[in-house]
Amino acid sequence: MGLSLVDQFHAHPIIFPVTAIFVLWITRLIVLRLVQERKIQALGGHCATRHSFPFGLPFVYGAVQAGRTYKDFSFWLHNFNKFGNRSNPYNIEFRLLSSIRIVQTADPENIKAILATQFHDFGKGDKFNEDFHDFLGDSIFTTDGQRWQESRQLIRPQFIKDRVSDLQTFESHAQILVPLLCPKSGHTVDAASLFFRYTLDAATDFLLGESVDSLRNPTVRFSHAFAEVQRIQSQLGRAGPMKFMINTKTFHEGLKVMDEWIQPIIERTLRLSPEELEKKGKTDEGYTFLHSLASYTRDRTVLRDQLVAVLLAGRDTTACTLSWMFYHLSLQPQTVSRLRTEILDRVGTNTEPTYEDLKSLKFLSATINETLRLYPIVPFNVRMALKDTTLPRGGGPDGNQPMGVLKGTPVGYSPLIMQRREDIYPPVSEKFPHHMEFAPERWEHWTPKAWTYIPFNGGPRICVGQQFALTEIAYTTVRILQKYSRVECRMDEKPSEQSEIVLQPHGGVHVAFFE
Ligand code: HEM
């Protein structure tokens, strides 16, 4: 005869406490879930749920695999289409490890709520701050509320028109970039790699008054260290609770290399007295972002963190936009020739363009807008609910009613999926080519509906460097197309869309330039 339950407990005394803990844990989960459920229902209910057994792990595995193979766009689109509500598929939710609810949206109404109308209900959250702390400290990127507001007030004045319209920094680096694009007529170059080095040089020059000079010295330690830190940071962000498994040796080495370069420049600036800084500001001679920051704060950590944050924000974003744009230009000689005609008519073949020239080049603006429509450079983003709240869409039988979101719920939003949604565009016509086609001319007859075009985000946290970025991209393009009349694609396939922090052409953009 077998042992009774009581006998078994006597034979293995450990079984009892383990079973008790397990039962308590399950009971706690069930009670928490019921409480959560009641609150969600009271706030508006759920959106369509993507079930994935067990514990949401297959779905997370799929998302990680999609990232690894550069198929994020098709993965997320498939999930919205397959699991979303039929009448409005662009809101779905899933559960991770049973207790963590994650909402994903590509619905303009919800994105508007998260970024603008319900701005105070959402933020980056403490976990984001913690995950990014070694790299970006308590800077504009990693804080909410009062701390974010202080950073924003510190940084915003550096991007007023006067500073942005000073084109000298772009000119001196464009002088190095333009010949490198064509070492020999028809020679294949990786334009993306050159754009990354160019924007790093221009950004360090603008921010610190010293360029890392990576166009001239491709092996410079700073740029490798910066790239490595970003690579590991992105892995840490994705790994979440499993981040202890990631080897961070090169991450910490990279941070050290970056600081070894930045700190002496900060020290030199801090040796200037407030009066000297003020005098420098008036003459404008060699006056940089760092000088300006140093006149508000002399805290070394604040200076370092804000500098690195703006460097991160400003560098890859602009390089990626230029890269995708020149990829498409290399396939569309008619667009290059139209751009060139516009540029030569206004600026001529040699003259440096002025800020006013750049603003008047309408077809060039349309080409940049079109690039950012198809390639919003921050393709996937996330905000944390800072309190129990309701989003306007996703709930109800048709998915168009409000949805409840509890404090601590991460809400992922994707400008990439949203800006490629067919239903937000007019029907295809002579004036409006298919929405997946690269067609700058569509902007001559069309303006996007509010909140359907948000490459720079929107609301109070809109990109602070938007004008700087648009000016840099326009300036660089003018200088390139003044010199070269033709760009030829030297790739058999379109580069994959690598979305880590930014949307990057994987493997580069291999093209040839001709005078
Ligand atoms: C095409 C180029 C660019 C694009 C598409 C872009 C896009 C964005 C986006 C989507 C955000 C919001 C991120 C978030 O809150 O999660 C952002 C924020 C920011 N961007 Fe840009 N950006 C570009 C260039 C630049 C440049 C050149 C700079 C500075 C030199 C810059 C500085 C910033 C800063 C400081 C923030 C943080 C704003 C805040 O949180 O208040 N960006 N950018």
pLDDT score, position 241: 67
Nearest atom of ligand 1 to the alpha carbon of 460: 41
pLDDT tens digits along 111-143: 999 999 999 999 999 988 998 999 999 999 999
Q: Is the pLDDT of residue 161 over 70?
A: no
377 lines ligand 1 (CB under 6 A): yes
* Ligand 1 centre distance from Cα of residue 141 (Å): 9
468 lines ligand 1 (CB under 6 A): yes
If you compute the radius of gyration of the chain from its CA atoms, what whole number of angstroms results? 26
* Ligand 1 centre distance from Cα of residue 298 (Å): 24
The band of 17, judged by pLDDT with boundaries at 50, 70 and 90, is confident
Helices (H) and strands (E) in the chain, counts: 20, 13
pLDDT tens digits along 426-459: 999 999 999 999 999 999 999 999 999 999 999 9
The band of 3, judged by pLDDT with boundaries at 50, 70 and 90, is low
313 lines ligand 1 (CB under 6 A): yes
pLDDT score, position 409: 95
Torsion angle of the four alpha carbons 507, 509, 510, 512, in this order, in degrees rounded to the nearest 10: -170
Q: pTM value?
A: 0.92
Q: Which residue, judged by its Cα, is nearest atom 26 of ligand 1? A: 314
Extract the tokens encoding 17: 């406490």
Q: Is the pLDDT of residue 288 over 70?
A: yes
pLDDT score, position 434: 97
Q: Which residue, judged by its Cα, is nearest atom 1 of ligand 1? A: 318
Pair 410, 103: CB distance under 8 Å: yes
- 346-to-339, 372, 482 alpha-carbon distances in Å: 11, 24, 11
Nearest atom of ligand 1 to the alpha carbon of 151: 41
pLDDT score, position 2: 57
Pair 315, 203: CB distance under 8 Å: yes
pLDDT score, position 5: 65
Pair 185, 515: CB distance under 8 Å: yes
* Ligand 1 centre distance from Cα of residue 461 (Å): 9
- Measured CA to CA, the distance from residue 405 to residue 155 in angstroms comes to 32
Q: What angle do CA 119, 369, 356 make, to 5 degrees?
A: 100
pLDDT score, position 10: 74
Q: What angle do CA 359, 204, 321 make, to 5 degrees?
A: 45
Extract the tokens encoding 73: 């766009």
3-state secondary structure 498-512: EECCCEEECCCCEEE
465 lines ligand 1 (CB under 6 A): yes
* Residues ≥6 apart with Cβ < 8 Å to 270: 294, 298, 300
**Most trustworthy range by pLDDT among 148-162, 208-222, 382-396:** 382-396
* Ligand 1 centre distance from Cα of residue 465 (Å): 6
* Ligand 1 centre distance from Cα of residue 27 (Å): 45
Q: Which residue, judged by its Cα, is nearest atom 20 of ligand 1? A: 463
- Measured CA to CA, the distance from residue 335 to residue 337 in angstroms comes to 5
The band of 240, judged by pLDDT with boundaries at 50, 70 and 90, is low
Q: Is the pLDDT of residue 256 over 70?
A: yes
Pair 416, 499: CB distance under 8 Å: yes
Extract the tokens encoding 393: 């869409």
Q: Is the pLDDT of residue 37 over 90?
A: no
- Measured CA to CA, the distance from residue 399 to residue 409 in angstroms comes to 19
Q: Tell me the mean pLDDT in the region 165-185.
A: 92
- Measured CA to CA, the distance from residue 425 to residue 448 in angstroms comes to 8
Pair 202, 169: CB distance under 8 Å: yes
The residues facing 94 across adjacent strands are 102
Range scoring the smallest mean pLDDT among 18-32, 392-406, 415-429 = 18-32
Nearest atom of ligand 1 to the alpha carbon of 320: 1
> How do 188-190 and 100-105 pair as beta strands?
unpaired
- Reduced to 3 states, what is the DSSP secondary structure of residue 78? helix
Nearest atom of ligand 1 to the alpha carbon of 415: 10
* Ligand 1 centre distance from Cα of residue 222 (Å): 22
318 lines ligand 1 (CB under 6 A): yes
Q: What angle do CA 62, 63, 66 make, to 5 degrees?
A: 85
* Ligand 1 centre distance from Cα of residue 462 (Å): 7
- Measured CA to CA, the distance from residue 424 to residue 224 in angstroms comes to 40
Pair 490, 512: CB distance under 8 Å: yes
Q: Is the pLDDT of residue 218 over 90?
A: no
pLDDT score, position 134: 92
385 lines ligand 1 (CB under 6 A): no
* Ligand 1 centre distance from Cα of residue 510 (Å): 27
Q: What angle do CA 355, 360, 363 make, to 5 degrees?
A: 125
The residues facing 373 across adjacent strands are none
Terminal CA-to-CA distance of the chain, rounded, Å?
94
Other Cβ atoms less than 10 A from the Cβ of 95: the count is 17
Which among 185, 483, 477 is positioned nearest to 349, based on CA atoms? 483
- Measured CA to CA, the distance from residue 181 to residue 194 in angstroms comes to 8
* Ligand 1 centre distance from Cα of residue 377 (Å): 10
Pair 142, 457: CB distance under 8 Å: no
Q: Which residue, judged by its Cα, is nearest atom 18 of ligand 1? A: 463
What are the DSSP calls for 313-358, one per residue?
A: HHHHHHHHHHHHHHHHHTT-HHHHHHHHHHHHHHH-SSSPPPHHHH
Nearest atom of ligand 1 to the alpha carbon of 372: 5
The residues facing 403 across adjacent strands are 391
pLDDT score, position 136: 93
* Ligand 1 centre distance from Cα of residue 332 (Å): 29
What are the DSSP calls for 109-127, one per residue?
A: HHHHIIIIITGGGEE-HHH
Q: What angle do CA 286, 289, 292 make, to 5 degrees?
A: 90
456 lines ligand 1 (CB under 6 A): yes
pLDDT tens digits along 86-105: 999 999 998 877 678 999 99
Give phi and psi for 84, each to the nearest 5. -75, 165
- Reduced to 3 states, what is the DSSP secondary structure of residue 48? strand
* Ligand 1 centre distance from Cα of residue 283 (Å): 29
- Measured CA to CA, the distance from residue 112 to residue 107 in angstroms comes to 9
415 lines ligand 1 (CB under 6 A): no
Of 114, 414, 463, 501, best ligand 1 pocket probe by most atoms within 8 Å of the beta carbon: 463
pLDDT score, position 223: 87
pLDDT score, position 164: 67
310 lines ligand 1 (CB under 6 A): yes
Of 166, 317, 383, best ligand 1 pocket probe by most atoms within 8 Å of the beta carbon: 317
Q: Tell me the mean pLDDT in the region 493-508.
A: 92
317 lines ligand 1 (CB under 6 A): yes
Which among 445, 488, 427 is positioned nearest to 186, based on CA atoms? 488
Pair 414, 381: CB distance under 8 Å: yes
pLDDT score, position 284: 64
Q: Tell me the mean pLDDT in the region 216-235.
A: 86
140 lines ligand 1 (CB under 6 A): yes
Other Cβ atoms less than 10 A from the Cβ of 76: the count is 22
Nearest atom of ligand 1 to the alpha carbon of 310: 35
Q: Tell me the mean pLDDT in the region 309-324.
A: 94
Q: Is the pLDDT of residue 159 over 90?
A: no
The band of 196, judged by pLDDT with boundaries at 50, 70 and 90, is very high
